[in-house]
Structure 1
């Protein structure tokens, strides 16, 4: 199967590092014109430069905008008024006990993890519908179904991603536009590496080995028994964004390493 996204414009929010960067790279490698997004102008410029170094023929540009707020979403849409592929990847996470999570933190998680995708989908879907082709993808998580006790606010926001994506898929039914959610499991992203760096440096193990130990401690049901690579998550996103995935919509697509103990 050869995925060709030539002539398509893809916006990937939160794509200066980690899973988002891997998604941007995968889409660019498939021929899409990719818009990199992040909050920091320096971070966006660095990611765009890196992509151009890694992929000589890549068509890539960047927009610095904080999509976790109304003004930031508006700024992104003003800079990039149209898209064929929208990947709502921007998100935040962090462990915190339920009884210590203030209202403001619940609101922050909701704004960044949920409303960014709501606002951008509302902005870009009409153009996709008019062109009778489009792909909208929400980066959810296995935590949407396996709610982590130390990150209930995060799990709640990721469950909301599933509700929005399923509802939007039904709203645009029969239009040639698909809407899906991607559910990664534990993934060796920049964030996980930073969290495990001190432990790794104090050991004789590689980062991959430390990450595998972390996964088996906190997600012992993992069937791959390691952290996924960011490229493995990106591969599923690129497929779901492709013409080949035209019959896949309204789905919660798992790339969780088998963490979720379910056959459905």
Structure 2
């Protein structure tokens, strides 16, 4: 299967590291012109330098804090139209449930949910009018298996499943697909920090990862952390013409973590 996204323009939010950078790299390698987004000009430039060698299509710097109206307007001024929108931006962290105050609940919702809604509201009508488009939300196994140590994060990922399904209905019959991708425990720098919040900080990484999966994510059938490129492979496929009949779905790249046939 050769995926060719030549002539398509994509925006990947939160794409200066981790899963977002891997998705931006995958889309660029497939020929799309990719908007790289982060909060600062510096982080965006650094990510573009890393992605550039793999890019068959072009790269567009699209800095802006998408948790704010101003940041969203800044990105839209650079990319007024896209064919592929990947709402990847998100924050996470462990915190006891009774210590999560109202401001933290709001921050998680604004970053993880509302930022994607803003962009979908901005880009989806143009996709519908043009008869083609792809919108994706990067959700998480935490949407279905709410982690006790970060229920505020799990709440936002559950919300994304509802948001993506709702917007898929709005785009019904238009040639535009809207889906969410349920990512399982994934190996990123941020996750390394998170793992060390839960296991002995003196353990070498490979051992710390094994302890984390055994003690905190024992449901995983993969029994290892997923690499960001493995999430990106699903996103690139969903962005292609090969996935034209897949919409309104929650597709799992979770290493078998969710103990269910359906999400």
Q: Which TM-score band applies after superposition, normalised by the shorter structure?
A: over 0.9
Counterpart for residue 3 of structure 1: 3
Structure 2 counterparts to residues 73-88 of structure 1, below 5 A: 73-88=72-87
Counterpart for residue 135 of structure 1: 134
Q: Does 1:183 align with 2:178?
A: no
Counterpart for residue 31 of structure 2: 31
What is the CA-CA distance between 1:208 and the residue it aligns to?
Answer: 4.4
- The number of residue pairs the alignment matches comes to 261
- Relative to structure 2, which stretch is displaced further, 62-71 or 8-17? 62-71
Counterpart for residue 236 of structure 1: 234
CA contact 1:114–1:160 (8 Å) conserved in 2: yes
* Distance in structure 1 (CA, Å) of the matches to 2:208 and 2:67: 32
- Relative to structure 2, which stretch is displaced further, 145-154 or 10-19? 145-154
Counterpart for residue 174 of structure 1: 173
Runs (5+) with no aligned partner, structure 1: none
3-state SS in 1 of match to 2:37 = strand
CA contact 2:145–2:258 (8 Å) conserved in 1: yes
CA contact 2:16–2:37 (8 Å) conserved in 1: yes
Counterpart for residue 50 of structure 2: 50
* Distance in structure 2 (CA, Å) of the matches to 1:46 and 1:227: 25
CA contact 2:31–2:55 (8 Å) conserved in 1: no
Q: Does 1:212 align with 2:189?
A: no
CA contact 2:85–2:136 (8 Å) conserved in 1: yes
* Distance in structure 1 (CA, Å) of the matches to 2:201 and 2:93: 22
Q: Structure 1 208/33 Cα, relative in aligned 2: closer, same or farther at 3 Å?
A: farther
3-state SS in 2 of match to 1:178 = strand
What is the CA-CA distance between 1:62 and the residue it aligns to?
Answer: 1.1
Counterpart for residue 102 of structure 2: 103
What is the CA-CA distance between 1:78 and the residue it aligns to?
Answer: 1.5
Q: Structure 1 30/57 Cα, relative in aligned 2: closer, same or farther at 3 Å?
A: closer
Counterpart for residue 15 of structure 1: 15
* Distance in structure 2 (CA, Å) of the matches to 1:155 and 1:197: 19
CA contact 2:83–2:133 (8 Å) conserved in 1: yes
CA contact 1:69–1:116 (8 Å) conserved in 2: yes
Post-superposition CA distance 1:97-126 (Å, at most 9, x none): 111111111110000000001000000011
CA contact 1:129–1:175 (8 Å) conserved in 2: yes
3-state SS in 2 of match to 1:4 = coil
CA contact 1:208–1:227 (8 Å) conserved in 2: no
* Distance in structure 2 (CA, Å) of the matches to 1:68 and 1:213: 34
Q: Structure 1 155/56 Cα, relative in aligned 2: closer, same or farther at 3 Å?
A: closer
3-state SS in 2 of match to 1:34 = strand
Q: What TM-score do you get using the length of structure 1 for normalisation?
A: 0.95
RMSD: 1.6
CA contact 1:188–1:211 (8 Å) conserved in 2: no
What is the CA-CA distance between 1:192 and the residue it aligns to?
Answer: 1.5
What is the CA-CA distance between 1:213 and the residue it aligns to?
Answer: 2.9
Runs (5+) with no aligned partner, structure 2: none
